[in-house]
Amino acid sequence: MHSFYPFWFNIFLYIWIGLAAVIFIVLVVLKIEVPYGRYTRTGWGAFISNRAGWVLMEIPSLLIFAGFFLGGNKVHDPVTWFFFAVWVFHYTNRSLIYPFRTRTISKKMPLSVMFMAIFFNLINASANGYYLGYIHPVYPGYWWKDIRFIFGVLAYLVGMTMNWWADGKLIRLRQNNVNEYAVPYGGVFRYVSCPNYLGEIMEWGGFALMAWNLAALAFFMWTLANLIPRALNHHAWYHRTFPSYPKERKAIIPFIL
Ligand code: NDP
């Protein structure tokens, strides 16, 4: 397979980032609650079990990225292998481990939501896998010591730890009352309603910083576009549902938003 001209690849990514901005504005202005999890509702077509939906919508990210990366015509240097490991590590959890940790017995999600997520993952994983497999310039040997790499890895590690911790905490809230919701307390929940989303944003912000390319930046932009509106929705939902919800807690950015 020949790499098509990087110029067009970049043009595509600028349009793709523009689309993320449009989606962000639409979700925030119209206060759209994407109908999965607590917002699952009828009117979005047929349903699939929550667990199967998560596996099917996330696994393309793992397989497609790996396919482009491993099948690419570039010789991989240790730095790109590191990016590969970071991606595979995250998506192995998200597609094959996380769905089996959740306590969503008998819960369903609309197939339409699953297909929207698959569409996003197809483009996102292809763009990132294609860049690293076919286009990327070889990262210089000093990249390990570059400030972008060091801060990127730090942000990724802190974000991943926060994301896993917060997901685990939310899942454990359901120890006894299956499918019920409760107010999470402690740790970063003292400051924000959605530390799992804050962690995810830090992860992909860190990835964009350490990999320093347009495809990774686009992924970061889409993560912001998806998760900030959903965090605002969750925050408003907590206040509606629990009258004693802590007033000082923000939605996603401590002390700010
Ligand atoms: P949520 O916070 O909505 O839910 C996470 C899990 O915890 C679900 O099983 C949910 O159950 C349960 N839960 C949440 N809040 C409570 C509560 N107060 N009491 C009891 N149980 C609760 O996260 P999402 O489902 O939106 O996302 C899951 C993961 O996927 C996150 O780590 C997120 O960062 C990541 N993600 C990443 C995206 C990206 O663009 N990179 C996009 C979307 C998600 P239920 O499902 O029944 O509500």
Return the pLDDT at 104: 81
| Cα–ligand 1 centroid distance for 5 (angstroms) | 38
Ligand 1 center to residue 137 CA distance, Å? 36
Distance from the alpha carbon of residue 171 to the mean position of ligand 1, in angstroms: 9
pLDDT at 19: 98
> Which residue's CA is the nearest one to ligand 1's atom 33?
197
| pLDDT at residue 248, rounded to an integer | 96
The pLDDT-based confidence of 4 (bands split at 50, 70, 90) is low
- Please give all residues whose beta carbon lies within 6 A of any atom in ligand 1, as ranges: 37-38, 102, 104, 107, 163, 167, 170-171, 173-174, 181-182, 184, 196-197, 200, 223, 226-227, 230
Alpha-carbon distance of 214 to 199, in angstroms, equals: 21
Instruction: Report whether pLDDT(48) > 70.
Output: yes
107 three-state secondary structure: coil
Q: Which atom of ligand 1 lies closest to the CA of 226? A: 40
- Residues 44-54, mean pLDDT to the nearest whole number: 95
Summarize the confidence of residues 26-50 as an average pLDDT. Answer: 94
Phi/psi-derived region of residue 18, left when phi > 0, alpha when psi is between -120 and 50, beta in every other case = alpha
For residue 180, give the ligand 1 atom closest to its CA.
20
Q: What is the pLDDT, as a whole number, of residue 2? A: 47
Asked if residues 14 and 210 have their Cβ atoms less than 8 Å apart, the reply is: no
Residue 56: other Cβ atoms inside 10 A: 17
Q: pTM for this structure? A: 0.95
Q: What is the mean pLDDT of residues 75-82?
A: 92
Strand partners, 110: 47
pLDDT at residue 198 is higher than 90: yes
The SS3 of residue 244 is coil
Closest ligand 1 atom to residue 171 Cα is: 7
Residue nearest to atom 30 of ligand 1 (CA): 94
Structure confidence at residue 96 (pLDDT): 97
How far is Cα 32 from Cα 216, in angstroms, rounded to an integer? 26
Q: Which of 38, 39, 61, 94 to mutate to test the pocket of ligand 1 (most atoms within 8 A of CB)?
A: 38
Instruction: Return the residue whose CA atom lies nearest to atom 5 of ligand 1.
Output: 167
Express each pLDDT in 208-251 by its tens digit: 999 999 999 999 999 999 999 999 999 999 999 999 999 999 99
pLDDT of 1: 43
Closest-CA residue, ligand 1 atom 38, reads 223
Instruction: State which ligand 1 atom lies nearest to the alpha carbon of 36.
Output: 46
Q: Does 176 have pLDDT greater than 80?
A: no
Q: Looking at the predicted structure, is the pLDDT value of residue 164 above 60? A: yes
Tokens standing for residue 51: 């667990």
